[in-house]
Structure formats: C-alpha cells, structure tokens
A and B are shown apart, each in its own frame.
Chain A
Amino acid sequence: NTETIIIEVPSYIREDLIHRETRNNNANSKQDQISLAHSNHKTQRFEVVPNARTLVEVLDYQKSSKYMAKICWSAIHPVSIEAIEYEFDEDMSLLLSFDVVQSGPILNQKIIPINVSVDQLVLGIPVTLFSVIINIVVVLMMSCGIIYKYLWKEVDKSDTKKND
C-alpha cells in the first residue's frame, strides 16, 4: 500500500522561493501543502477524491538534496496510486502529482484518506528508515551470536571429538 518516487532538488533554486514565509504572498496555495520546515521528514494526511489527479505542493525543502516522496493508503480502500510525478513550475514550486484510481469495485467512499510523506535521503537511505535499519541490525547480530554459540561451536566440538 505504498508508492514512492525519488525527488532530486537542483542546486540553482533561489532560497526565497522554497520557504513558506516568503512564498505565501505570491504563491498560488490552492492545492494541499506539506512543509519540511525545521525537519528533514514529514508525514501528512490528506483527504483525496478518487479517480482524479491530486496535487501536493512541497515547501521548505533544501537545495541540492534528494527526497523520497511516499504515498500510503490503507488496504481497506480498494484504490491504487498511479502516475506519480514531480515538477518544479515556473516559480520553482515543487509539485507532487499522482492519480488515485479505484482498483476494482465501485467505491462507496467519496473521499479516501492517504498519507503523503517526504523523507530526505542520507547516503541514499530515507532518514525515517534509519531506526528500522538499526533495529534489524541489532536483531541480526543477536541471531548470529546465538548461531555462533549454540550451533557453530557445537559443530566445532563434535568435530574435535571425532578427531580425538
């Protein structure tokens, strides 16, 4: 229930065009917005209309950075997310766009809740995944310790006995 796209922010963007405070006067803010102010990741919930193009404007991103945009929806709503794209328009708005398409039966809901997340990539890994990776590494190290103590050493012992 997740679709992703990698966003590359070029280095030539003017600082005043990517922050909410400086944009509000001149920006068209009709579409939904997600702001990364004081953070390198953000998840925000939106109510979207199925079978229509959805636009989300990303604000407060950093120059020369990479982000992973992630759109999640619950499996209890039979929809799929298709044609995810991003673009910087003429006034350097970062616009994320995607289709929410019904993937089977006619939907009973007129609006579907979705989560849009924008995570900065550090060493090519989304920052929110670091805690998960640490979790996995700790568990794997414990497993390897158990294998070494109770399986590998047991094999060693039995081999030594055979040689004796």
Chain B
Amino acid sequence: MFSVFDMKQPPIWTITKVFWISKVLQYTIIFFTPCIESQFDTSTTLLLDNFPQLDQSQWYNAKILNKLLSWDSAYYLKNILHMAQTPDGIYLPEYENEYAFSPFVWSSVLRFSVKALLLKEDTPFLLLVLISITNIIHYCSTIALFYLTRIVFQKNSMYKYQKQTVFRIAMFTCLLFIFSLSGGFQSTFYSEQFSTLFTFLGMYTREYSTKYTGSFTITIENKALYLLTSVFFTVAAVNRPNCVINGLFFLLDLQKFIFNKTSQHSELKNKLNDHRKREALYPLFSGCFMLCGMVYTVYYTPFQIFCNTSNSADNLPNWCNNSLLSQLELLKLNSLVPTFVTRNSLYTYIQRRYWNVGLLTYYTANNIPNVLIALPNVIYLFMAANYFQWDFNSFNLHSYCYVSFAFLIMICGWAHLQIINRVITFIPLHLWYLSSCFAKNGNSLKVKLYLAWVIIWWPLQTVLFANFLPPA
C-alpha cells in the first residue's frame, strides 16, 4: 500500500499513477450510478433539452458525463454555452444570479479552451473536453502541491527534516489532496480547481522568493518571483472571491518588514532598516495589485454592467444605489472611495438574495446533517492552524495559520458550512498537519480517523453528486 513512498521512483511518476487511478475509480463509481432519468432531481433532462447541441447519443455522455451536470454545473454549462455578446464584444450571462459562477474567468477559460482546440460548441465531445480540462488542472495542482510542500518543509528553519521525511510528507499530502473530501465536485467542471492551482503556484513562488531567519525576519531573495505571486493570487481571487484571504500573506509580510528588529549596532541598523524599507514596498505593491484586481472584477465591472445604464435610479438594482460613499461621508473619507465601490458588491448581493448567505444565517435545525459532514475539515484545519502556530513553532508556516484562521471565521460565520469540503482545496495546512503526524507515527489515530472518513466520504459524495442528491 505504501510503495508510493519509495524515493527511488520519480515523484511525478508516482503522483501521475495515483492521480489517474483515482480518476478511473471515480468515473467507474459514476458509471454504476443510475441514469439521469432516475436521479432524485430530474432537472438534468430539462437542462439537456435546453442545449440540443449537446449530442446525447454518445454512450459516454449518457453513462457518465451527463450525470455530472448536477447542482452548480448547470450554471457553468449555461455560462459557457449561453453567454450573450454585447456590442462591446463582452460576453455576459443571461441572469444576475449567474454572475456568481465566474463568468469572466473560469467560464471564459473553458469557452476559449474549447475554441482553441478548434472544436465547435455542438461537438459531442464538449462535456468530455470541459471535464478533461478540469482534470488536467486538478492534476497540475497536485504536482504544484508536491513541490510547494517540499519547499515549505525543506526550508523550515526550526526543524531540519531529513530528505526522506520531507518526501513522505509531500507524497502523503498529495494523496490526501487527490482523495479529498471534495468528492464528486472534483469530477466535474467546478471553478475551485482553477483557483487552487493558482493559489498553490502563488504560495510556491512566495516560498521560493523569500527567506526566513526568525519570527520577524524575512528577506526577499527573488523580487520578480515575489511580484509574480501577486499575479497568481489575483487570478485565484477574481475567479473565486473567497481566495481574497490569500492577500493576508502580503499583509503579514509587510508587517514583518515594518516591525523587524535587526542589529543593535546603530550604523548597521540604519543601513539594514533602509534596505528593509525598500523591500517592504514589494508586499505593499503586491497587496495593492491584488486589491486593484479585486476592485476591478468585484466592483467596477458589475457597476458598469448593471448601474451605469440609462435607466432611472428607481429601476436600478438596490445594491447600485448603496454606495460606500454615503457610509463614509460622516467620516469625511468619501473623496477616497470611487462611486463604483458599493457597500455590498454584486457577489455579496447575489449570495444573500439567492442563497441566503449572511452572518450565522445557516445555523438552523434542518442544517444539522450538513454541519456534521463539514466538521472533520473544520476540526482538522483548526487543529492544524493551532499546531503550526503554537506547538510546531516554524516561522514560515505562521502566515498559513493566519490565512487558515481567517478562512475558518469566514466559512463558519457567513457561508453554508458544508461547502468547506469543496472550497477548502486551496488551503493545504490541514493536509500538512496530517502528513507530519503520519511522518512522525505511521499509526497515528488522528490520521487513521481522517483516512477512514475519506474512504467513506470520497466515494459516497461522488455517488450523491451523480444522483443529484444533497449536500451541494
């Protein structure tokens, strides 16, 4: 079972084998689920009738791929096939709630990929192409996670791991990532995988370009790569707004530059401080770049589409008239904020209106089962952040801990809690925690309990998803 930890095998080859075996296994499970006419929710047949260009005579569509059009996949498919072109050449979704499904990033990436492959939208291979692209992105994320884990644990200043231990941690992390609690959501073209890949790339370039020598001592060794981090994090965040918490990395780096305590000798201290002030500009610039990217996609673009029309103010959506300016007038800060920055973004408005997302609105008696299935990831991520922050005492992991705590607060406070299982994929900390427990003790009970839950939930969630059953 554990031959995957054989260092003689090239890691890419081992990951490739395990990854594609997992995909074959997952699609075999889906193959054996009842057909779409027997799904609990029979609306996939209606969806397919709406898109007659999707050829239904192919066996792989009927036996496997059509079953993956459950829940949010319907919105993504509609965005890919149905977005209408405006006179400006921009493709827009039909209804406002469809803006929650990354029309300008993930849906467009899939749209352009299909065109780049010189395929027409009525090809019988359309679903196959869309799902293959997502699987390739998932595969690339796994490879990126291997190298990210290796660099994080290799450069660790407090714990000098042996090469073999780092290899075991990285490989075990990849195994957990492949067989993640995301289950069936991994099998179809949801947008999470895209943000996960770019987050891991950003984390890797940040790790590669920085050096830690103490809790408040960080230096940027490769400035171009550090700046590239902000590009990766921005792509991840404009695709899935919850990835905006990656911006905390820049904030925490900036804090380390500002509060850095260097040499006691005044001359050297002054020189170093001047140098560090210049270096502080990099996280500052990176954070600002990310902020601008977010403001452009979350505020500016929707405002231009919905609020900058010839309609009278009465006909505009509520959120258009609710400018942040009016909130800041009392504080005399209104000149700092442009008019398109509204108190609620289109995304927040959509989430609240269509999915009842809001502070603690999720905690009702009928959601108890959903809370229970979310608990393993909530508990393990909390334990991981706690362990790496206080017990493990490794400086380069502290930023990941703060990001994880912020993510937990966001998910537990505002989101539908069970979606943690599918949106947590961009955070590797709980996987690192389990892997370091495994590296210390191969029979760790904590690890075995998590593995037992993965062995139950990964195929079960796949079956539930293919049958269009909750949790969504």
Contacts and interface: CB of A to CB of B under 8 A. Distances in A.
Specify whether A and B are partners: yes
B96 A151 contact: no
Contact of A74 (B40, B43, B94, B97): B43
Interface string B327-345: 0000000000000000000
B46 A113 contact: yes
A45 interface: yes
Given A104-B95, A132-B467, A114 B46 contact: yes
Interface in B434-472: 443, 445, 448, 451-452, 455-456, 459-460, 463-464, 467, 469
Instruction: Sort chain A's interface into a size bin.
Output: 35 or more
Interface stretch (A31-39, A84-92, A135-143): A135-143
Contact of B460 (A45, A136, A150): A136
A75 B43 contact: yes
A2 B456 contact: no
B38 interface: yes
B41 A2 contact: yes
B308 interface: no
A144 B452 CA distance: 9
Contacts of B32: 135
B33 A76 contact: no
Interface in B18-57: 29, 32-34, 37-38, 40-47, 49-50
Contact of B96 (A2, A105, A146): A105
Contact of B463 (A104, A129, A135): A135
Contact of B456 (A103, A143, A150): A143
Given A105-B95, A143-B459, A155 B45 contact: no
Contacts of A151: 448, 451-452, 455
Interface string A120-164: 000000001101100110011011101100110011001000000
Interface residues of B, number: 42
A132 B40 contact: yes
B151 to A, nearest CB: 31
Contacts of B464: 136
Contact of A132 (B74, B96, B97, B469): B469
B115 interface: no
Contacts of A50: none
A144 to B, nearest CB: 8
A108 interface: yes
B271 interface: no
B451 A132 contact: no
Contacts of A117: 42
Contacts of A140: 456, 460
A72 B46 contact: yes
Interface string A82-119: 00000000000000000000011100100001110100
B449 to A, nearest CB: 9
B150 interface: no
B452 to A, nearest CB: 5
Contacts of B459: 139, 142-143
A118 to B, nearest CB: 12
B13 interface: no
A22 interface: no
A139 B463 contact: yes
Given A2-B43, A129-B40, A142-B459, A76 B34 contact: no
Contacts of B451: 151
A131 B97 contact: no
A131 B354 contact: no
A76 B49 CA distance: 12
A72 B41 CA distance: 6
A65 interface: no
Interface of B: 1, 29, 32-34, 37-38, 40-47, 49-50, 71-72, 74-75, 78, 82, 94-97, 353-354, 443, 445, 448, 451-452, 455-456, 459-460, 463-464, 467, 469
Q: Which 5 pairs of residues, A with B, have the shortest CB-CB distance?
A: A74-B46, A72-B43, A74-B43, A115-B42, A75-B74
30 contacts: A43-B37, A70-B42, A72-B42, A74-B50, A75-B47, A75-B74, A75-B75, A76-B82, A78-B95, A78-B354, A103-B354, A104-B353, A105-B97, A113-B46, A115-B42, A115-B46, A128-B38, A128-B40, A129-B40, A131-B34, A131-B38, A132-B40, A136-B460, A136-B463, A139-B29, A139-B459, A143-B460, A144-B456, A147-B452, A151-B451
